[in-house]
Structure 1
Amino acid sequence: MGKKGGLNRLKRMHVPSFWPVAHKRFQWAPKTAPGTHPIATSIPLTIALKEMLGYGESRREVRFPISEGRVKIDGRVVRDPRFPLGYMDVLEIPDAKACYRALPHPKRGIILHPIGDEEKSFKLCKIRGKKTLRQGRVQLSLHDGRTIVLGEKSERGAEEPVYKPDDVLVIKLPTGEMMGRVQFSEGAYALIVGGKNRGSLGRIRQVSKVEGTAPSMVTIETDDGKHLQSYRSNIFVVGQERPLISIPGVVSR
């Protein structure tokens, strides 16, 4: 019988352009495992440790601490070297006393930004989808593969906010409990996580709805007065009055 399933590796000529690998030095590169993030917006854990952080000279060296449970993502031990590391994920290496948050970058695609002990206790998750289950319960689907099921309408009460797609939840790590919400609205701070303006931070100034099936466009004003546009799906809200997370070059919290 033939082998079932796909390969766990990619030819280097086919890897995403932002992966920091030598495309012509070797033939193969590890492929991200199916899970929390798609391959187009994530990077394998082994490449992040070896190429971005310099914790080893070969994939074999960085696989040892992963298999021994000395690497955490979002507060939980990860033993899969191909685990996909995507936007807003918190990477922790307890032995080195180092924590990083994955953020978008205009040229390098994804960067690992150092954070402190206070920030490693939470992450931001964007609501990708929302649907109603039996007995009036509501299920929220988040950008990192999580699902949160709210109680019945009578249990939630009238004071609980109405969660909408593109809003962002503040998730406590590693329990996954909701700590708060950042509403997608004009005036809120947002990051652009896709397109040619990826990695730019600014305030949402206008949301333009387009007739037909075309996606809505969002205009963001940066601190230096530039106005940038991107699709609504590329907008990631990070705070109302100021960013809730530290961002390179921005004073926050």
Structure 2
Amino acid sequence: MTKKGGSKHLKRLAAPAFWPILKKEYRWVTKPSPGPHPLGRCIPLLILVRDMLKLAENAREAKRIIFDGEVLVDSKVRRNFKLPVGLMDVVSIPRIDVHVRIIPHTIKYLWYVGVPKEEVNLKLVRIENKSLIKGNRLQLNLHDGRNILISREESQKYKTLDGLLIEIPSQKIVQHIPLEVNKLAIVMDGRNAGRIGRIIEIQEKPGMSRRKFLVTLEEASGHRFQTILEYVMVIGDDKPIIKVSEGT
């Protein structure tokens, strides 16, 4: 029989550079299962528990914690130790009162920040695109693989790359944050990943994909930098609506 699909295994040397693992201590590492986040933008749940949160000394202990249903991701019990955990996912371990959110980091690319209990059931997501489905309804497709159904009357309100604050796991929309000038945003990819700034200008060019538009952001210090809309996620007006960094 011919081989179907990719490899089920992953060598440590081939793992994403931001994973907090020793590359040469062992040969193999847990490979994330297919899910809402791609390999280059996620961390397996086992590595999060063992190497980032330091709740286990080895893979066997981490698996036991996960298999026992101690770990919740976005307010749902997850027993798959290969589950890909990515941007803005909320990971909770209620027994020891640990609640963290995965955020972009200026050095580590993806890291976590502790969140207060009142934010455990809140998640910030970005609208990637919209789809027309049966029943003349629209579906918002979000960056973490979620889908939210809306009516045609609401379709003009929500635009691609806008931000949404939703309740989890119900997916009820709490707040809509349009992507526009003067909004606060965080960079989620590229060499400026993790930086937060106010959108000063969006340079639109005819014939160019909106995702490739150049955007200028200004940090609280007054320093300005540029990236593309593809890498930007809006997080609020004057301040982030939820905690997305140590200083917020």
The TM tier, using the shorter chain, reads: over 0.9
1:241 CA displacement? 2.3
Note the C-alpha offset of 1:184. Answer: 0.5
| Corresponding position of 2:90 | 90
- Counterpart selection for 2:238 from 229, 241, 248: 241
2:215 aligned to which of 201, 213, 218: 218
Does residue 50 (structure 1) correspond to residue 50 (structure 2)? The answer is yes
Counterpart position of 2:132: 132
Q: For the Cα contact (< 8 Å) 1:99–1:120, is it kept in 2? A: yes
**Equivalent in the alignment of 1:229:** 226
Counterpart of 1:22 in structure 2: which amino acid?
Answer: L
Contact 1:183 1:240 in 2 (8 A): no
Describe the SS at the equivalent of 2:49. helix
C-alpha distance after superposition, 1:202-236 (max 9, x if no partner): 10011112344461111110000111111111001
Counterpart in 1 of 2:172? 177
Paired residues for 1:1-253 under 5 Å: 1=1, 4-153=4-153, 162-213=157-208, 215-251=212-248
Aligned amino acid, residue 204 of structure 1? I
- Report the TM-score when normalising by structure 1: 0.92
Q: TM-score, normalised to structure 2's length?
A: 0.94
Distance 1:94 1:8 in 2: 31
CA deviations 1:109-138 (Å, max 9, x no partner) are 111101111111200110001122344311
After superposition, the Cα gap between the structure-2 partners of 1:145 and 1:21, relative to the gap in structure 1 and judged at 3 Å, is same
The 8 Å contact of residues 113 and 246 in structure 2, kept in 1 or not, is answered as no
Distance in 1 of aligned mates of 2:54 and 2:204: 45
RMSD (Å), alpha carbons: 1.7
CA contact (8 A) 1:10 1:31 kept: yes
In structure 2, relative to structure 1, the CA distance for the partners of 1:152 and 1:204 (3 Å cut) is closer
Offset of residue 150 of structure 1: 1.1
Post-superposition CA distance 1:165-209 (Å, at most 9, x none): 010111101211111211111011100011111100010011112
How far has the Cα of 1:12 moved from its partner?
1.1
Whether the aligned pair in 2 keeps the contact of 1:8 and 1:30 (CA below 8 Å) is no
Q: In structure 1, what residue type is equivalent to 2:236?
A: G
C-alpha distance in 2 between matches for 1:121 and 1:194: 25
Is the contact made by 2:129 and 2:140 (CA closer than 8 Å) also made in structure 1? yes
8 Å contact kept, 1:135–1:152: no
Which stretch has the larger CA shift, 103-112 or 211-220? 211-220
* CA positional deviation for 1:9: 2.5
- Distance change in 2, residues 1:94/1:3 (3 Å): farther
Q: Which moved more, 1:167-176 or 1:241-250?
A: 241-250
